Amino acid sequence: MHTKVTLFVQCLVDSIYPRVGEAMVEVFRRLKVPLEYPADQTCCGQPAFNAGYAKEARAAARRFVRIFESAEAIVCPSGSCVHMVRHHYPELFADESIDYRMRVKAVGNRCYEFSEYLTDVLGVVNIGASFPAKVSYHDSCHLLRGLGIGEQPRTLLRHVEGLQLVEMDDSDVCCGFGGTFSVNYPEISTAMVDDKIDNIVATGADYVTGCDVSCLMNIEGRLSRRNTKVKVVHIAEILASRAGHNDE
Amino acid sequence: MSDVEKSAYRRDARRGIDDECLQSGLQKIQNRFGKGAMHYWAETADDGLRDRVKKSRMETLENLDVVLSMLADNIEAAGGHVYYARTAEDAVDYCRRVAVKNEVKSVVKGKSMTSAEIGLDAVLEAEGMEVTETDLGEFIIQLGEDRPSHIIAPCIHLDRQRIGRLFQEKLDIPYSEEPPELTQAARRALRKILLEADMGITGCNFAVAETGKISLVSNEGNIRMSTTMPRIHLALMGIERVAATMSDHQGMLQLLTRGAALQKLSTYVSFVGGPRQPGDPDGPEEFHLVMIDNGRSRILADEEFREVLACIRCGACLNICPVYGKIGGHAYNSPYPGPIGAVVSPLLFGINRYADLCKGESLCGACLDVCPVRIDLPRMLLALRRKLAYGDPAWQTTRHKWLEAMGFRLWRTLIASGPAYRLALRCAGLLQKPFISKSGMIKKMAGPASAWTRDRDLPPLASEPFSRRWKKKYSQAAKATSSEVDNG
Amino acid sequence: MDEKGAFLATIREALGYPGEEVRTAGECRRLFDPGDDGDIFDRITYRTHVEKQSLLKLMMENAVPLNLGVHPVRSFAAAARTIGDIVSAARPEFGDIRQIIQHDDDDIARLQLWKKFAGQAVTVHTSYQADMAVREKAIASYVGITAPRWAVADSATIVEITGPGRPRSTSLLPSVHIALLRIEHLLADLGEAYALLRKNPPQESVVFISGPSKTADIEAHMVHGAHGPREMHLVVIDERMTADRNYQGSGLFPAE
């Protein structure tokens, strides 16, 4: 019997890309994993933390710990949020009591990124998905360098029926999002995402995918402005696809 | 003034991005040396070397007073002079006094960022001295009245055509754009100057306390000449650029040459210190080591930032950084560019002054991965951002962006309450409607978000957030599955 | 408190120690711990001649990308011939007069180069300590000949230690640098060189040289020949070289 998974969907997924959350639900249902979703979750605090606003981030973190600490397994479709909870929450609460710090650590230990949870915890690599298309994969910074997750998403993608995985040059180079960086230093951010898109286009891929909605939103926004015909899809959406039911 | 013009960083970043010559040069070094360094660390057998060197660097820093004292004693025992410069002004003034006292007319320089940091050249030139950079890249920069853009390859932003025209004009030679010919022209032009100079001024890659020698790492031979032929050698040394023992030096040297240019060893590594021995036909008559604090002891005192002093100045972080790779070194407007510069420049010269360097990166973490001594630059950038967010009197830092601080205060209020957050989403969902274009994306936003829509479209808020969809579609089913699970 | 005292006191306080109390090396013993180089010295001492010959082969491979010419020879006479060939083939860079300068060293003296060049228009200077004009002679010479203390196979490096009659300029100012080494002084890696330097720290200056000077400052394009010598050769004497231990490969003159 599978452990119940508590969904931590990420604020961007909740508000802008709910279909990513739905895709996660679909995948877990197929694997017969019981789910729960604490409805009053909001944000892990990362946007504030990365911009230097640790006090504000702490408020969000405290709330997160309160909402999620009774969960057995917390799964999130975003590597950067998981990195926040695992690596930065202990820093945020370094001055708290030892008890609280242990609670925070425990929450971090039970928090997983979606692809990581499927391959490393559930031991599943084939979800029975079908997605006939040429797809390129973008390695998000916190996911790859912060959490060490790079093989797991690729393994899952290789087991998707009909999917042709084409590696882009510099898949691990930052897409230029960086949170407030993208709006405070837009010329630099745009120059970086342009390089990323040039690399995607060079592969001839129909889709670009990844495990972090922040990156994908950044890439999608620029693709759209450049009128480039590559579509953006989160890995959960690919894995949720079945033959004849391709996601747009 | 537009937002871009108000920020020298953004303005010069824009210039760098538009400079095709710079972009080509940056791609070359990043592809070869940045990726090459990462590849080397992945393949190398002795992975423990980086950790061992880091450890010895930190231990040296934690005992820096003892180490520097030993170094000074050994240099003085060999007949050298040591000067303790608390500030840039102290250092510059000492150099000037030594030069004036010795009636120096001509100074040759080995590449030294520290000399740029303290502003030495202008002061010596004001005394009527001829100051010539002898490192080829720095020589080219000097001829073109330009600024270096990389700590190892200073003129990577210039192409061979520009250099060819510069040499044609300034060295009065026929135009050539072939690097071997240009290098030969510089060799000829500089040989006489190197042989006849009165004083050689260099930096110091690493001093070795237990031997009283400083080591200088180079490929061209100009530093060897600058420290061998003139009668005075003066070396500038940041207080952190010292190894306790030759054992420590060995590890640091190997990481430096690998990290800088993927070399097992640079062409020349010289160990010098003290005046020539009686009977020696070459070598300086006087040797001076100027130890420079200029804010480093303050960094040392702060345990959050002490680690940055372990830097061996290899430049690997510049070679891997995607931001540096787009904007180039000039945008940093500091003698220290790149990721290391983004931490060191604010700490040395003012956090508010260099606020853009603290905040103008995406925190991708590549610099930490590539650093031979594993300096956690992202961690320190976050710490600097915190100081800018709230101010810090200990570091003379005031709050940086009032509007942004208010924004995050508001954000905190919203995310702290489920109902407030959901209400805000609903309002935003309504307010966005006039901005959504026919394609379904938002093409132009108002306020701070307009910086995003300048170059990118923005996906609109979904008509139904996930939380509502869950409630409608899934919560019943989830409850059912759960009770299945509970009931076995 | 004098300048030095005040300067170091600031650093002590930064580290959390009272400023006025001078700390000594004894308080951070571990930092200055010499460690044990016993294993390294054993390796060096018990290395067989055959092993050194393998190291020489390795050094020749490592020398190729550095544009360093390595010439194994069987005798001092053969070394003299090889050096003679190099000197004859090279052209003076600055001016026409052929002058070469050699260190005052027993091994170099054995080559009797003055004999080799007698009758040719090549003047052989020796950098005797007593000679007041060595500096000018080094500047005027287009070939410099030195005898390094050791060579290191792994990085194709020679280690020169300055001394009476062995000035720095000999391996620096001439356009061509020739180093002479007996294979007995060949080490495996830099660690061994460091161990030997730790054992007897030289008072004088030391330099590691790994090939002719170079630069890649222009468009990251590698050019051999910057300010130091633009051509470099290492002549290695192996008096126990036998016919079937021929060293193939390097020993070529660097490309123009």
pTM of the model: 0.95
Q: Is residue B188 part of a domain?
A: yes
Q: Distance between the two ends of chain A, CA-based, in angstroms?
A: 33
Q: Do B437 and B288 sit in the same domain of this protein?
A: no
Residue A215 scores a pLDDT above 70: yes
Kindly list the residues from chain B whose CB atom is less than 8 angstroms away from the CB atom of residue A29.
477, 481
Closest CA to C201 of B274, B239, B266, B284: B274
DSSP 8-state class, residue B442: B
Among the partner-chain residues B29, B160, B194, the one whose CB lies closest to the CB of C218 is: B160
State how far the Cα of B412 lies from the Cα of A219, in Å rounded to an integer.
27
Quick check: A239 and A23 in contact, CB under 8 A? yes
With touching defined as 3 or more inter-chain CB pairs under 8 Å, the answer for chains C and B is: yes
Is A97 exposed, middle or buried (CB count within 10 Å of its CB: 0-12, 13-18, 19+)?
Answer: exposed
Annotate B166-200 with b (16+ C-beta within 10 A) or e (fewer).
Answer: bbeeeeebeebbebbbbbbbbbebbbebbbebbbb
Closest CA to C127 of C137, C140, C117, C118: C137
Compute the count of residue pairs across chains A and B with CB atoms less than 8 Å apart: 207
Instruction: Please state the domain count of chain B.
Output: 2
Residue A15 scores a pLDDT above 80: yes
Instruction: Decide if C210 and B267 are in contact by the 8 Å CB cutoff.
Output: yes
State how far the Cα of B26 lies from the Cα of A153, in Å rounded to an integer.
31
Quick check: A143 and A40 in contact, CB under 8 A? no
Contacts of C124 (CB under 8 A, 6+ apart): C100, C101, C102, C113, C114, C117
Token digits for C6? 């005040």
Token digits for A77? 């479709």
Instruction: Decide if B362 and A176 are in contact by the 8 Å CB cutoff.
Output: yes
DSSP 8-state class, residue C149: S
pLDDT, position B279: 79
**Radius of gyration (C-alpha) of chain A in whole angstroms:** 18
Chain C segment 226-245 residues within 8 A of B by beta carbon are 226-230
Q: Is residue B395 part of a domain?
A: no
Token digits for B128? 């009527």
Contacts of B32 (CB under 8 A, 6+ apart): B262, C220
Q: Does C173 touch chain B (CB under 8 A)?
A: yes
- What pairing do the DSSP bridges indicate for beta strands B268-272 and C206-209? antiparallel
Q: Is residue B163 part of a domain?
A: yes
Chain CA centroid to CA C189, Å: 14
User: To which H or E segment does residue B451 belong?
Assistant: helix B450-453
Query: CA–CA distance from C117 to each of C111, C125, C201 (Å)?
Result: 11, 12, 37
User: To which H or E segment does residue B133 belong?
Assistant: strand B130-133
**Radius of gyration (C-alpha) of chain C in whole angstroms:** 22
Name the residue type at position A133.
Answer: A
| Residue carrying the six token digits 């040429």 | A134
Among the partner-chain residues B32, B228, B265, the one whose CB lies closest to the CB of C168 is: B228
CATH of domain C36-241: 3.40.50.10420
Better-predicted residue by pLDDT, A199 or A2? A199
DSSP 8-state class, residue A126: -
Contacts of C33 (CB under 8 A, 6+ apart): none
Kindly list the residues from chain C whose CB atom is less than 8 angstroms away from the CB atom of residue B300.
11, 14-15
Compute the count of residue pairs across chains B and C with CB atoms less than 8 Å apart: 234
Q: Identify the bridge partners of residue A44 per DSSP, sorted by sequence position.
A: none
Closest CA to A24 of A76, A62, A91: A76
pLDDT 10s digits, C71-87: 999 999 999 999 999 99
Instruction: Decide if B455 and A50 are in contact by the 8 Å CB cutoff.
Output: no
**Average of per-residue pLDDT values in chain A:** 95
Answer with the one of B250, B267, B294 that is the final residue of a domain: B294
User: To which H or E segment does residue A113 belong?
Assistant: strand A111-113
pLDDT band (50, 70, 90) for residue C60: very high
Look at A161-170, B277-286, B400-409, C119-128 and tell me which has the smallest mean pLDDT. B277-286
Chain CA centroid to CA B251, Å: 21
Q: Using CA atoms in the order B215, B216, B219, B224, what is the torsion angle rounded to 10 degrees?
A: -110
Kindly list the residues from chain B whose CB atom is less than 8 angstroms away from the CB atom of residue A191.
17, 326-327
Q: Identify the bridge partners of residue A209 per DSSP, sorted by sequence position.
A: A137, A233
State how far the Cα of B368 lies from the Cα of B463, in Å rounded to an integer.
41
Q: Does B402 touch chain A (CB under 8 A)?
A: no
Domain containing B444: what range?
432-488
Q: How far apart are the CA of C9 and the nearest CA of chain B, in angstroms? A: 8
pLDDT 10s digits, C160-184: 999 999 999 999 999 999 999 999 9
Q: Distance between the two ends of chain B, CA-based, in angstroms?
A: 69
DSSP 8-state class, residue B436: B
pLDDT, position C241: 87
Centre a 10 Å sphere on the Cβ of residue A95 and count the other Cβ atoms it contains. Answer: 7
Among the partner-chain residues B78, B273, B282, the one whose CB lies closest to the CB of C168 is: B282
Q: Does B59 touch chain C (CB under 8 A)?
A: yes
State how far the Cα of C172 lies from the Cα of C150, in Å rounded to an integer.
18
Q: Does B409 touch chain A (CB under 8 A)?
A: yes
State how far the Cα of B81 lies from the Cα of A7, in Å rounded to an integer.
67
Q: Which residue of B has its CA nearest to C129?
A: B279
Instruction: Decide if A42 and B421 are in contact by the 8 Å CB cutoff.
Output: yes
pLDDT band (50, 70, 90) for residue A247: very low
Answer with the one of B294, B328, B362 that is the final residue of a domain: B294
DSSP 8-state class, residue C166: B
Among the partner-chain residues B183, B187, B267, the one whose CB lies closest to the CB of C211 is: B267
Q: Which residue of C has its CA nearest to B81?
A: C4
Q: Is residue B335 part of a domain?
A: no
Q: Which residue of B has its CA nearest to C152?
A: B265
Quick check: B79 and B110 in contact, CB under 8 A? no
State how far the Cα of B272 lies from the Cα of C160, in Å rounded to an integer.
12
Q: How far apart are the CA of B171 and the nearest CA of chain C, in angstroms? A: 17
Among the partner-chain residues A4, A53, A181, the one whose CB lies closest to the CB of B408 is: A53
Instruction: Decide if B163 and C208 are in contact by the 8 Å CB cutoff.
Output: no
Report the CATH number that the domain containing residue B161 is assigned in CATH: 3.40.50.10420
Chain B segment 277-336 residues within 8 A of A by beta carbon are 322-323, 326-327
pLDDT band (50, 70, 90) for residue C254: very low
Closest CA to C93 of C179, C211, C174, C213: C174
Q: Is residue B133 part of a domain?
A: yes
pLDDT, position B482: 59
Q: Does B169 touch chain C (CB under 8 A)?
A: no
Among the partner-chain residues B356, B451, B485, the one whose CB lies closest to the CB of A34 is: B485
Residues of chain B predicted below pLDDT 50? 488
Domains of chain A and CATH, by start = 5-120 (no CATH), 125-240 (3.40.50)
Residue A244 scores a pLDDT above 80: no
Chain B touching partners, 3 or more CB pairs below 8 A: A, C
Q: How far apart are the CA of B293 and the nearest CA of chain A, in angstroms? A: 28
User: To which H or E segment does residue B239 belong?
Assistant: none
Q: Do B130 and B279 sit in the same domain of this protein?
A: yes
State how far the Cα of A155 lies from the Cα of A24, in Å rounded to an integer.
17
pLDDT 10s digits, B14-23: 999 999 999 9
Look at A62-66, A72-76, B435-439, C227-231 and tell me which has the smallest mean pLDDT. B435-439
Closest CA to C233 of C168, C170, C169, C145: C145
Closest CA to C234 of C85, C68, C49: C68
Look at A48-62, B264-278, C241-255 and tell me which has the smallest mean pLDDT. C241-255
Closest CA to B382 of C92, C137, A87, A76: A87
Q: Which of A147, A183, A195 to mutate to test the interface with B (most CBs of B within 10 A)?
A: A183
pLDDT band (50, 70, 90) for residue A24: very high
State how far the Cα of A213 lies from the Cα of A216, in Å rounded to an integer.
5
Instruction: Decide if A142 and B385 are in contact by the 8 Å CB cutoff.
Output: no
Closest CA to B272 of B211, B320, B331, B357: B211
Q: Does B195 touch chain C (CB under 8 A)?
A: yes
